[in-house]
Structure 1
Amino acid sequence: MELEQILITDLKEVESTIVSKLGEAGFISIESIAITPMNELMEKTGISNETAAKLLHKVRDIIGLEYITALEFYKKKQNAQRLTTGSNNLDRLLGGGIEMRAITEFIGEFGAGKSQICMQLCVTSQKPLEQGGLGGKVLFIDTEGTFSPQRIHDIAEARDLEPRKILENIIYVRCYNSDHQIFIVNKAAKVIEAEKIKLIVVDSIIGHFRGEYVGKEMLIKRQQLLNQHIHRLLRLAELYNCSVVITNQIQSNPSAFVFGDPNRPAGGNVVAHASTHRLYIRKSKKNIRVIQVIDSPYLPE
């Protein structure tokens, strides 16, 4: 079910000075307020603890963040729209396609095909609901310079879609460092609301953080920032009823020196706990890719 957007100017019981501070801080709708932690709301607007608490309580009450039974939740999951990947085998592995209001993570080494899947999803997501799409636009956050408009053009053309229209419906942003990446996601609510975004892609989630926070002494800070970053993505997915797809790199796994996979996903437990579904892509013979579900609440591994 889609939320009817309510602007902060529509909140009649909120003082005009507070509304003005919210607007100056970039909060346009009550949805953008609802997903913001209270300490962050206070920091960005300069409002008091008491005012922030009352405001959050009010907007979350309007949106209807309420208790439901497990049966109701089950029915919502069963009836939720899924995004086709364009591959019948991958769709079956995912239980029908990419889940809405969730984070799907594709993990693999360089050249495994993570970015290709992301670009294919940019095309399939724009197809109508009855054809397995989401009928909406895409926000593509490119942290490694892997996005290829030409590849999007070719995929669209191969699927008998209009390449120019497909490209027009992809909102693209290139991120050059982790601060920029965090900033883009923090401001994403405004773009999602204005452009009716239904798919958010971050390719990749971890690259800048690994390159900028080096050494054990920086690990705690890196993981804290990464945790906040990826959970904001999850809140955006849940509140705006869209899909989030992220890619992740691999790193060496010293504990599996003799037995097991010598590689493991980067990002540690922070990324592992935040991602809803984790899929590992491996290269095989004759340009074939093997994809395995390595973690999911309900998909078999």
Structure 2
Amino acid sequence: MSEKTVTVTKPSVKNTIGKTMETTSDKKETEITTPKAKEVKEAKIKSILELPGIGPQSAEKLIQAGYKTLESVAVASPMEMVEVAGVGELTAAKAINAARESLEMGYESADKIQARRELIGRLSTGSKELDILIGGGVETQSITEIYGAFASGKTQWAFQLSVMAQLPKEKGGLNGNVLYLDTENSFRPERIVQIAKAKGLNPDNTLKNIFVARAYNADHQMLLAEKAADLVKEKNIKLVIVDSLTSQFRSEFIGRGRLSDRQQRLNKHMRALMKLAEMHNVAVLVTNQVMSRPDILFGDPTAPIGGHIVAHNSKTRLYLRKAKEDKRVAKLVDSPSLPDGEAVYRLSENGIEDT
């Protein structure tokens, strides 16, 4: 009887050990590299020099254009960076996204928004009726627009708030200084002195705390607004005034053929003002001119210049009109949180007062 030989193949110890060592090695490698990867991922960019694609020359151009912080880059558009820094659109987009990720700009819970809104200051107008109408005063972190016909008191509002902003918070002020963009050569220091004396402030100090810039055309006006961020931080600016918002745009961009260009530039200007208000917690007041609409046969034909562009960018809109003698009427026509209404006040040598 023949014997059958059965061969049993055992697994190679070498192979088994090799595989085990390989697996162990992989695990160790994973354990070692994962924390490093996490650390790299969580590393935050701290300056614009660290942004991807932004070299020293591009960074210098950004700084000269007013983009000195990650926050200013994060809220910019790619085309803005292309214009000022000379980088490609793709590079600009990557840099902006990197800044946003570093600052964790994205969705946030409503309670955080509420906490940020609690930092909002309210600047008193000097009239209790007006303050009630607009929810306690002119808000920081937003744009307030006042419009009306000639001699309706728009510039008087600018003068009044320029003084009121310097008062301590317990007296309705913001305890800060004022940046005043004058586009119509209507700023009058002597009027400031009158109101300052009525409020118990030193007139000389009050004038020193108002920084006035005369804008001679639309481009100059836009440039002054874009460069304002540095002055806001250096001089403790709490109120920015533009008197008047649309005067230069209205005179330079004449005719329907240039209407689109005017609106685009006006929108860019207002976005710069809005960015200033939100990023630095300042109040922005703009005065606006009006026109008469011939298609309105019944009712008030008065309409503000700037159309939907100005309307969408202004958070609070007030329509001013003259009443009898020294009285004026302010009508709240738009607010995200307040009902429409009216308030009557008077203009005197002392400024805005209750009737």
Q: How does the TM-score come out when normalised to structure 2?
A: 0.77
Q: Which residue of 2 aligns with 1:147?
A: 187
Aligned match of 1:100: 140
Greater displacement, 222-231 / 12-21: 12-21
Equivalence for 1:172: 212
Percent identity over the alignment? Answer: 43
C-alpha displacement of 1:127 = 1.5
User: Map of 1:273-292 to 2, 5 A cutoff?
Assistant: 273-292=312-331
Residue 133 (structure 1) aligns with: 173
Q: Which of 1 and 2 has greater Rg?
A: 2
Deviation at 1:79, TM superposition (A): 5.3
Letter in 2 for 1:199: L
Distance in 2 of aligned mates of 1:130 and 1:8: 39
Q: Which region of structure 1 is more displaced relative to structure 2, 56-65 or 155-164?
A: 56-65
Q: Is the 8 A contact 2:51 2:95 kept in 1?
A: no
Amino acid at match of 1:253: R
After TM superposition, give the deviation of residue 193 of structure 1 in Å.
2.4
Q: How does 1:163-202 map to 2 (within 5 A)?
A: 163-202=203-242
Quote the offset at 1:14 in angstroms.
6.3
Which residue number corresponds to residue 304 of structure 2?
265
CA contact (8 A) 1:200 1:244 kept: yes
After alignment, is 141-150 or 44-53 more displaced?
A: 44-53
Of residues 166, 184, 205, the one that matches 2:245 is: 205
Which residue is equivalent to 1:248?
A: 288
1:49 CA drift (Å): 2.7
CA contact (8 A) 2:53 2:95 kept: no
Q: 1:162 to 1:63 in 2, by over 3 A?
A: farther
CA distance in 2, matches of 1:137, 1:153: 15
In the alignment of these two chains, the number of paired residues is: 295
* Letter of the 1:300 counterpart: P
Distance 1:24 1:223, change over 3 A: closer
Instruction: Assess if the C-alpha contact under 8 Å between 1:35 and 1:232 holds in 2.
Output: no
- Tell me the amino acid that sits aligned with residue 44 of structure 1: V
Displacement, 1:273? 1.1
Partner residue in 2 for 1:160: 200
Partner of residue 120, structure 2: 80
The residue type paired with residue 278 of structure 1 is: R
**Matched residues in 1 for 2:86 and 2:93: separation?**
13
CA–CA separation in structure 2 for the residues paired with 1:64 and 1:171: 34
Higher relative contact order (CA closer than 8 Å, sequence separation 6+)? 1
Give the drift of 1:81: 1.7
RMSD: 2.2
